Structure 1
Amino acid sequence: MFWIIGLAGLGLLCAVGWLPLKTWLIKRRVEKAVPPRGTFLQTSTGRQHYVDRGEGPAIVLIHGLGAQLGNFDMGLIDGLARDHRVIAIDRPGMGWSERGDETPANPRAQAAQIVELIDALDLDRPLVVGHSLGGAISLCLALDFPHKTRGLALLAPLTMLGGKVAPPFQALAVKSGLKRFLLSWTLAIPNSIRNTDMVLNYTFGPETVPKAYSIQGGGLLGLRPVSFRNTCRDFLASARDLKWMNSQYDHLPVPVSVLFAREDRILDANLHGAEFARQNPAIHLTLIDGGHMLPVTQPEICEKFIRKAAAESAGIGEQNPSDQGRIG
């Protein structure tokens, strides 16, 4: 019996010891498959990774929870860059951007961090585009720094208090920093791979996942310990400023346009879209068919929507009526 217990304990120890090595090997393969595609800039949070394409009026793209700038690089960046200067960022701590454990992760703090990049690149009041959590960050940027943007174009944004937490995010509520670290090097990445179909069904459904999403869309970068840890921190901090944000919507300082898909399985379009739009008659809501990952699945529709928002925020007229019909 003693030897049986000893062998069982040794087997368990070997299994636990194998997990960090397995995670490290996955991390190395992912980083080789999806290397940095842009430029690095030093800010208060560390090195920040971004791409900068095109010339013309500036547009800044801010991605959502657990994502990175590749979500915009499935056609949207290049489409807009035909006549705009487009800056897509890896938010601090995500993709290839750095963020220390002591750096705050709530939306208002992240908005201030992104303003650092806007200032460093000498951008003149860019249109700010935010997807999902990036939408909440964009709203905080406009509310706290209205002189830094001429308008917002929000894609399936987080805007309102309340609503249910989608199943893929429930495992992210890890409050202990030590537990996040241990999980990130043991169970988190293997579990993410095991649950891939379930996660993608919620985040993309009812639309299908484009074949290029893993590499060109940067999806594989989520399979790294640092990504898990910072996604947990972002998730836990995501609602921290919503009460304050909700109290400010009746006097938004810049034009705000919102694009939502009716079948979104992550954020309720009725709450975060329609109810949000009711807070201020100056908020313009467009509803389409589809899921949550609009920059990836419908980049052409997003481009038309953003172009319309850019034109309206610049006061240069409306979009072509035929395009409006295709968006709405």
Structure 2
Amino acid sequence: MSRRRTSKWSRASIALAGSAAAMAAWNIYQARKAERRHPPTGRFLTIEGVRLHYLERGEGPPAVLLHGNGVTSEDFELSGVLGLAAQNHRAIAFDRPGFGYSGRPRGVIWTAARQARLLREAFAAIALEPAVVIAHSWGTLVALALALDYPETVRSVILLSGYYYPTRRADVVLFSPPAIPLIGDVMRYTVVPPLAAAMLPAMVERSFAPLPVPDRFAKGFPAGLAMRPSQIRAEAEETAMMISAAAALQDRYRELHMPVTIMAGTQDRIVDHQRHAVRLSNEVRHSTLRLVPNAGHMIHYAVPGQVIEAISGATAVPSGAVDSPPLPHLVNNRAT
């Protein structure tokens, strides 16, 4: 009897291992297929052993764009912000570590502060003057860390739909498991890519709600890149670190001395604008708050023109004007 049970378990284990291997092979094939469909279109540089991919357009005062979780630098191209900014600026959109075609070496905990240090070195490598830094969602934490730790590199900060204070979040529990060593590695190469693909339409709709998903995103978003096991690791790690990243920065926001523009949609279903954008504007002296009625989390698609206005306004402020009076606070685009 025991031999029969052992035999059954052995056959089941072999079948399970075979299924996992087949799924892993399929997901690797799909990842390579996605990369062939969406090859890198920008430039590369290597900083501290990390290969960074970035898009660069235009000439003029530098404007650096940092994307959120789940997307790549191409997000700013699809929204139109990169092209519009490039009309009067040297606009640069980085793939943050692990996203798009940038590496994310193991052995490093890629906190917002660690990513900020990498960006400081990247700025020096491409001879970038103090820049207006525009960041969306998770990218706002990196922008804030950069402004706080290396203020000499940042002329002004424009924050879009950011998460700035630790709060309870169900998505941290739901989407962090692929970041767990070993177990998460197995998940990323087997069950997670098809599950993520099935969930993607609903997640995208929620991000854009209450507005519809624009055609340029629906047709242009490289979903296959987001489903690669390598990028799933980056996405899961950033989800897992989301609360701690905000907690690490929240007591330092009053140290910000450069102009800060805070933009948020009043119907954002990912981040509560009152708990985050409004609260941050009350803490940061040199800040402008711009709430956009009826816009959701993907505010740069809803009002790209207003993002460009903010960039142009930030460029007009003299670099290093840390002792200038605070900018007027705006609520629903009206000065208060």
With normalisation by structure 2, the TM-score equals 0.86
1:171 aligns with 2:175: yes
Which residue matches 1:89?
Answer: 94
The 1:73–1:168 alpha-carbon spacing in structure 2 relative to 1, beyond 3 Å, is farther
Query: How many angstroms does 1:284 deviate by?
Result: 1.2
Return 242-251 or 277-286, whichever deviates more.
Answer: 242-251
Within 2, Cα distance between the matches of 1:153 and 1:218?
Answer: 25
- Partners of 1:257 and 1:98 in 2: CA distance: 30
Q: Distance in 2 between matches of 1:262 and 1:326?
A: 9
> Which of 117, 121, 135 is the aligned partner of 2:122?
117
User: What's 1:58 paired with?
Assistant: 62
Where does residue 38 of structure 1 map in the other structure? 42
| Preserved CA contact (<8 Å) 1:214 1:220 | no
Q: Amino acid of the residue matched to residue 93 of structure 1?
A: G
* Count of matched residue positions in the alignment of Structure 1 and Structure 2: 319
1:189 aligns with 2:193: yes
Aligned mates of 1:114, 1:225 — CA distance in 2:
24
Q: Deviations over 1:60-97 (max 9, x none)?
A: 10111122101100211111101100010001111100
User: In 2, distance between residues paired with 1:182 and 1:13?
Assistant: 11
For 2:13 and 2:317, how far apart are their aligned partners in 1? 66
Contact 1:129 1:155 in 2 (8 A): yes
In structure 2, relative to structure 1, the CA distance for the partners of 1:233 and 1:8 (3 Å cut) is: closer
Q: Is the 8 A contact 1:71 1:296 kept in 2?
A: no
**Partners in 2 of 1:259 and 1:110 — Cα distance?**
22
1:217-237 Cα distance to aligned partner (Å, 9 max, x none): 444320100000111122222
The answer for the alignment partner of 1:128 in structure 2 is 133
Alignment match, 1:321: none
Q: 3-state DSSP class of the match of 1:159? A: coil
Instruction: Judge conservation of contact 1:168–1:198 (CA < 8 Å) in 2.
Output: no
- SS at 1:247 equivalent: helix
Question: Shift in Å at residue 252 of structure 1?
Answer: 1.0
2:149 is matched with which residue?
144
**d(CA) in 2 for partners of 1:302, 1:258:** 10
CA distance in 2, matches of 1:298, 1:95: 24
**Alignment map for 1:279-318 (pairs within 5 Å):** 279-288=283-292, 289-312=294-317
Instruction: State how far apart, in whole Å, the 1-side matches of 2:49 and 2:97 are.
Output: 7
CA contact (8 A) 2:84 2:308 kept: yes
Give 3-state SS (helix, strand or coil) of 1:292's partner: coil
Shift of 1:176: 2.2
CA–CA distance in structure 1, aligned partners of residues 249 and 172 of structure 2: 25
SS of the counterpart of 1:73?
Answer: helix
Distance of aligned partners of 1:271 and 1:17 in 2 relative to their CA distance in 1, 3 Å threshold: same
- Residue 280 (structure 1) shift: 2.6
1:210 to 1:26, Cα distance in 2 relative to 1, 3 A: farther
1:208 Cα deviation after fit: 2.1
Which of 76, 82, 88 is 1:77 aligned to? 82
Shift in Å, 1:194: 1.3
User: CA RMSD, aligned part only?
Assistant: 2.6
CA 1:9–1:107 in 2, change beyond 3 Å: closer, same or farther? closer
The letter for the 2-side match of 1:107 is A
2:93 match: secondary structure: strand
After TM superposition, list the pairs within 5 Å mapping 1:232-247 onto structure 2: 232-247=236-251
Provide the rounded CA distance (Å) in 1 between the counterparts of 2:302 and 2:120.
28
Is the contact between residue 164 and residue 280 of structure 2 (CA under 8 Å) also seen in structure 1? yes
How many Å apart are 1:166 and its aligned residue? 5.2
Indicate conservation of the 8 Å contact 2:179/2:185, yes or no. Answer: no
Report the Cα distance in structure 2 between the residues aligned to 1:268 and 1:169, rounded to whole angstroms.
18
Q: Determine if contact 1:45/1:103 at 8 Å carries over to the other structure.
A: no
Q: Residue 227 of structure 1 aligns to which amino acid in structure 2? A: Q
Unaligned runs of 5+ residues in structure 1 are 316-323
Higher relative contact order (CA 8 A, sep 6+): 1
What does residue 320 of structure 1 align with?
none
Q: Which amino acid aligns with 2:115?
A: Q
Contact conserved, 2:178 with 2:188, CA < 8 A, in 1? no
Unaligned runs of 5+ in 2: 322-329
TM-score by length of 1: 0.88
Deviation at 1:297, TM superposition (A): 4.3
Question: Structure 1 residues 313, 260: closer, same or farther in 2, change over 3 A?
Answer: farther
TM-aligned CA deviation for residue 173 of structure 1:
4.1
Q: Which moved more, 1:138-147 or 1:214-223?
A: 214-223
The reply on whether 1:252 has 2:259 as its aligned counterpart is no
Distance in 1 between residues matched to 2:287 and 2:49, nearest whole Å: 32
Task: Decide which moves more: 45-54 or 196-205.
Answer: 196-205
